Chain A
Amino acid sequence: MSFDVPETKVANFDVKSTIGDARSGTLRIKDTELETPNLLPVLNFYAGGLARSLYGGGIHRTMKEFMTGDDVIGGGDYSEYFDGVMTSVGSLTDYNISRERYEDYIAEPVKEREVFEEFNGTLFLDSGGFKFLGGYELDGSNFEVEIDQAKIFEIQQRMGGDIIVNLDRPIAPDDDYETRVEKARRTAENVVEFLNLSEGTMSARFLTLHGYNYSMLDTFLGEIDDIVGASRVHDEFDGVALGSLVPLKDNKGRLIDAIQDCRSILKDWGFDDLPLHVLGISSSAIPLLAAVGADSFDSSSYLHSAINGKYNTSLTGSKSIDEVDFSKCNCPVCSNEVLVSRMKGNAEYRKDELGPVAMHNLIVQKREVAYIRDCIRSPGTDDLIEYLESTLGQNKSMRLFAHRVVNESLGGYF
């Protein structure tokens, strides 16, 4: 005879393979599956525009057209590159929208809208804490909404995120100890409210953590433990999202420290079975951070590169769009005559010229992350080491970091 145990977890994270500290698995939430390590492109579903323009304009709109295989971009199936997508409640503030438009935007879950019916990836809905509370001027006031944990949760639910996070208070590198403790305490209070509000939700809940090293993370978790209770964190959260790293994005050594220490603290607190998402860090850091145990990333670098006229050749390299020989790339964008012609400048609007570049950049990044995943899934450490050597190892300023993760996570060279 068996008893039904109430299942509070919505997500299932199945680690299939580990080499050193790197791991690869499958994250299942509702009817979505995300293979890890993975990179979630940042999209703005509601960027300006009107409903008929796919809820958003500019280059974001073109990306959504790729996501849904719209006729405007010549159709085609790009869904494999949108197996997971990140968006933020904070993106509602990117454009000056009215209260009415806001109501319209959150009236129906993203995936239930007809325009997005082709999209079946995992939708990660960030709380926007970085935008609302990270010291920036933005708040919800331009559409007359008071932002708090309850409101954020309401928006997340109404938008229908597969993964949602509590409203957090990001730290800054120059915060002093007291400030960090205060931010942790206030985040912990939000966590309590978030868990209470979201009881029974069908979304997977990720706990946001902030800290740059073991001690900071320990202090942060200590506050959570005092206010929420460790067991509740363990039983009710489906994953962990490490934030506040954006200001350190150019310091690969500190990023590696942060991820290594985060994995250690999760192990010491008994949360090591939860997937670890790294908020806002991508590109050349991905191979390093995946090698030391990060499971997923989100990035808008594919988009920003394109806006800056850069065409990615790898996770670490790019060329000016004017110098590109598109025939050298076999991605579906560069194999499409119409899109190539637009990328060469034969387009009426800038978004039509740069949108395909952004999509190409995303494909390059996604393919490379898939390759890293394959390396982790293949037996032994050789494939991943060889990948790190042939990419980051060739760059003098990066090679020391490649050596470091090979030595510290993958058994070393000698």
Chain B
Amino acid sequence: MQETTPEKQTRKRPKVNEVNEFLEIASDFEDPLEVIREALSNSYDAGATEVEISIKSRAQESEIIIEDNGRGMSESDLESFFDLGNSTKSDPEHDSIGYKGHGTKILYKSNQIIVDTAQEGKNLHAVMDKPWDTLNNRELPEYEVTESTTRPGNDGTRIKVTGFKSGRGFAPESLTYNKIEHYLKWKTLAGSTKYHFHPEQFRDLEITVRLDDGIDDSRERLVTNNKLEFPEEQLDPGEEPFPEARMCKHYGPKTLQIEADNGETTELEVVGMVGGKDARDELPTYGRHSAQFGIWLAKDHIKVERLNEAISHDNEFIHFLFIANSQDIELSANREKIRNKSSAIYQAIETELNYFLSKVAADPWFKGYLEQRRVAELNRKASTQQKSVEERKKAVTERGRFEATNQSEVILGLERSNREGAKPTITVEDFDLGADVNALVEQNGRLYGSSVHLKLTDHFEEDKPLESVGKILCWEIGDRDKLREIERRGYQNGHVEFDLESNRITYGTKSRHTIHIVEVPSRFD
């Protein structure tokens, strides 16, 4: 290759289309409830002890107002709030939840954002109009900030979002207190397990949600805390038909020290419970049980993704609710997925969690719980069986005489007819239900290859041979037209004739032989 001398050298930096970035990030958030999730995290990170969320449905557009008593924002905090990827919470080890600076961008999917934030006597009032329309016109929306003074000691932040749009269209009418409560407990820091592991760092957050009466007037407001609380333990079974249903045992909190193959280390904070359906029903659920229970990996002690493979296949994950938190799992921008699954540390977490849960599954209490389920199921079955015995007894009492309903009962009937003196005596010497010629019967010292059926027609419907059959024992003849058809068409390449008057079948291909029909009920006449 020919050598060249550089004449001009330039250094270039890849460009980012800022508008597209904002659109991309904001579009990642689909569920309008994610607005609440982000707001709670921000309020907690701002040191708030109280946060109130109001959702109002207006004729034109909806309003979401989030107000907290945290430490408020400085000018640079406010800039970060509107900026992209410029979080002030840069230290992931620090006691804060978001740090990518993406979360608040969900608010851009609206018609207006107004922020009022007070810090140390100074109030900042910021207004951004039509952020979503502006972005979609390929422009960066701007906001106006007005500074004023306020009473010291009155710190806090109030955010009002008007006309929020989600992919499905934000319909506040679809929200209910019940739905929001369950969402909060399942998906946000309101369902945090942190208090189990770091009680000294843990700070109570009182969360109040108010919905417009037009949205849900079932109650005035919803108040909850930031703890995922498990149903009370009940180690012993109850006495109901489902004695295991309220059984519940707590496991942990336990901190597992993990070392990956590459030497990286982390702590996995595991807490959870095993329990029956009634116990599980005491927990808030967001969606179906089957979609919610199992083993959750968490970051910031908030559930992210399930890892139900951590429970071996012979155990149903539905009995378990475990939350395993590691600050070394990394999340996608919208916090919905773990993005470092191929890392050594993630693999080590998976292995360790697998091991921990194998111990839970081997716990004698859990085995006892499963045994309770099994025994209860057997008992329920037995009671159904008992019922069926009762029904059968009733049927037997009501009928006038013995009636065979299957092959074995045909034999019972035959034996009974012998006992009552029917002649000739025919006894079944050998019975093999699966064999083509399923019985050997004895009559006057001679053995006959025989076939036992409830109906004579069954023999032909089952396509059994006739060659080595001397007798067919049956309770009834069955559909005589079927026999006539067989007579007409022949049977297994042979000629067959039914003489039901004299209880005979003649059959043969070249030579013929006679088969005796024993219609058992006639022996009682």
Interface residues of A (CB under 8 A from B): 393-394, 399-400, 403-404, 406-408, 412-414
Please name the residue on chain A nearest to B358 by beta carbon: A399
CB distance from A321 to the nearest CB of B (A): 25
A253 to chain B, nearest CB (A): 12
- Contact, CB under 8 Å: B355 / A412: no
- Chain A hits for B359, CB < 8 A: 403, 406, 413-414
Residues on B with beta carbons closer than 8 Å to the beta carbon of A403 = 358-359, 362
Q: Tell me the bound Cα distance from A399 to B365 in angstroms.
A: 18
> B residues within 8 A CB of A399?
355, 358
Q: Which residues does B use to contact A, with CB under 8 Å?
A: 249, 251, 355, 358-360, 362-365
Give the contacting residue for B358; candidates A400, A408, A412, A414; CB below 8 A: A400
Is A414 in contact with B362, judged by CB distance below 8 angstroms?
A: no
Q: Are B358 and A407 in contact (CB under 8 A)?
A: no
Known contacts A399-B358, A400-B358, A412-B363; can you find 6 more A-B pairs with CB under 8 A?
A: A403-B358, A407-B363, A407-B364, A414-B359, A414-B360, A414-B365
Closest 7 CB pairs of A and B: A403-B362, A413-B359, A407-B364, A399-B358, A414-B363, A403-B359, A407-B362
Q: With the chains together, A408 CA to B362 CA distance in Å?
A: 10
Contact of A404 with B362 at beta-carbon distance under 8 Å, contacts A393-B355, A399-B355 already known: yes
Residue of A nearest to B363 (CB): A414
Residues in A whose Cβ lies below 8 Å from that of B363: 407, 412-414
Point out which of B355, B360, B365 has the most chain A C-beta atoms below 10 A from its C-beta.
B355
Q: A403 to B312: give the CA distance in the assembly, Å.
A: 14
Closest Cβ of chain A to B179, distance in Å, is 35
Give the docked Cα–Cα distance between A393 and B359 (Å): 10
Are B251's CB and A414's CB within 8 A? yes
Q: Nearest A residue to B351 by beta-carbon distance?
A: A394
Complex CA–CA separation, A111 to B129 (angstroms) = 101
Enumerate chain A residues within 8 angstroms of B249, measured Cβ to Cβ.
Answer: 414
Closest chain B CB from A235 CB (angstroms): 38
Q: List 25 A-B contacts (CB under 8 A).
A: A393-B355, A394-B355, A399-B355, A399-B358, A400-B358, A400-B362, A403-B358, A403-B359, A403-B362, A404-B362, A406-B359, A407-B362, A407-B363, A407-B364, A408-B364, A412-B363, A412-B364, A413-B359, A413-B363, A414-B249, A414-B251, A414-B359, A414-B360, A414-B363, A414-B365
Tell me which residues across on chain B come within 8 A of A412, comparing CB atoms: 363-364
Smallest CB separation, B336 vs chain A (Å): 30
Kindly state the separation between the CA atoms of A406 and B359 in the bound complex, as whole angstroms.
10
* Most A-side CB within 10 Å, residue of B251, B359, B364: B359
* Nearest chain B CB to A75 CB, angstrom units: 42
What A residues does B365 contact at CB under 8 A?
414
Complex Cα gap A393–B355 (Å): 8
CB neighbours (8 Å) of A406 from chain B are 359
Bound complex: CA A399 to CA B355 (Å): 8
Cα separation A404 to B366 with both chains bound (whole Å): 13
Compute how far the CA of A325 lies from the CA of B362 in the bound complex, rounded to whole angstroms. Answer: 37
Please measure, in the bound complex, the distance between the C-alpha atom of A404 and the C-alpha atom of B355, giving whole angstroms.
14
CA distance A413 to B362 in the complex (A): 9
Tell me the minimal C-beta distance from A21 to chain B in angstroms.
Answer: 15
Per the bound structure, the CA–CA distance linking A400 and B362 in Å amounts to 7
A414–B252 CA distance with the chains assembled, in angstroms: 8
CB distance from A389 to the nearest CB of B (A): 8
Chain A residues within 8 Å of B362, by CB: 400, 403-404, 407
Which residues of the other chain, B, contact A414 by a CB distance below 8 angstroms? 249, 251, 359-360, 363, 365
Nearest-CB distance from A398 to chain B (Å)? 11
Across the interface, which residues of A come within 8 angstroms of B360, CB to CB? 414
Kindly state the separation between the CA atoms of A404 and B364 in the bound complex, as whole angstroms.
9
B251: chain A residues at CB < 8 Å are 414
In the bound assembly, the distance between CA atoms of A407 and B362 in angstroms comes to 8
Distance in angstroms from B256 CB to nearest chain A CB is 12
Which chain B positions have C-beta within 8 A of A393?
355
Q: How far is the CB of A354 from chain B (nearest CB, A)?
A: 33
Q: Shortest distance in angstroms between B233's beta carbon and chain A's nearest beta carbon?
A: 12
Kindly list chain A residues whose C-beta atoms are within 8 Å of the C-beta of B358.
399-400, 403
- Residue with the greatest number of chain A CB neighbours at <10 A, chosen from B249, B251, B362, B363: B362
Closest to A408 in B: B364
* Most chain A beta-carbon neighbours within 10 Å: one of B251, B360, B363: B363
Distance from A295 Cβ to chain B, minimum over Cβ atoms (Å): 25
CA distance A400 to B249 in the complex (A): 20
Q: What residues of chain B lie closer than 8 Å to A413, measured between beta carbons?
A: 359, 363
CA distance A193 to B463 in the complex (A): 65
In this complex, what residue of A is CB-closest to B250? A414
Rounded to whole angstroms, the CA-CA distance of A358 and B358 in the bound complex is: 35
What is the distance, in angstroms, from A261's C-beta to the closest C-beta of chain B? 18
Min distance, Cβ B20 to any Cβ of chain A, angstroms: 47
Q: Which residues of A contact B364 (CB under 8 A)?
A: 407-408, 412
A406 to B360, CA, bound (A): 12
How many angstroms from the CA of A392 to the CA of B42 in the assembled complex?
46
Shortest distance between the CB of A395 and any CB in chain B (Å) = 11
Question: Within the assembled complex, what's the spacing in Å between the Cα atoms of A413 and B365?
Answer: 11
Of all chain A residues, which has the CB nearest B366?
Answer: A414
User: When chains A and B are docked, how far (Å) is the Cα of A412 from the Cα of B359?
Assistant: 9
A406→B365 CA distance, assembly (Å): 13
**Chain B residues with CB below 8 A from A394, complex form:** 355
A399 to B312, CA, bound (A): 12
Q: Which residue of A lies closest to B356 (CB)?
A: A413
The residue on B at minimum CB distance from A389 is B355
Cα distance, A414 to B364, chains bound together (Å) = 10
Shortest CB–CB separation between residue A130 and chain B, in angstroms? 34
- CB-CB nearest in chain B for A414: B363
Name the distance in Å between B268's Cβ and chain A's nearest Cβ: 16
Q: How far is the CA of A393 from the CA of B351 in the complex (A)?
A: 11
Could you tell me the distance in whole angstroms from the C-beta of A289 to the nearest C-beta in chain B? 18
Please report the C-alpha to C-alpha distance between residue A414 and residue B272 in the assembled complex, in whole angstroms: 12
Q: How far is the CA of A393 from the CA of B364 in the complex (A)?
A: 17
Chain A nearest Cβ from B217, distance in angstroms: 46
Least Cβ–Cβ distance between A323 and chain B, in angstroms: 19
Chain B residues whose C-beta falls within 8 Å of the C-beta of A404 in the assembled complex: 362
A131 to B223, CA, bound (A): 77
- Shortest beta-carbon distance from B348 to chain A in Å: 13
How far in angstroms is the closest Cβ of chain B from A325?
A: 19
Residue of A nearest to B360 (CB): A414
CB distance from A201 to the nearest CB of B (A): 45
Q: Within the complex, what minimum Cβ distance (angstroms) separates B312 from chain A?
A: 9
Q: Smallest distance from the beta carbon of A256 to chain B beta carbons, Å?
A: 13
A-chain residues with CB within 8 Å of residue B355 when the two chains form the complex: 393-394, 399
Smallest CB–CB gap between B354 and chain A, Å? 8
B8 CB → nearest A CB, Å: 56
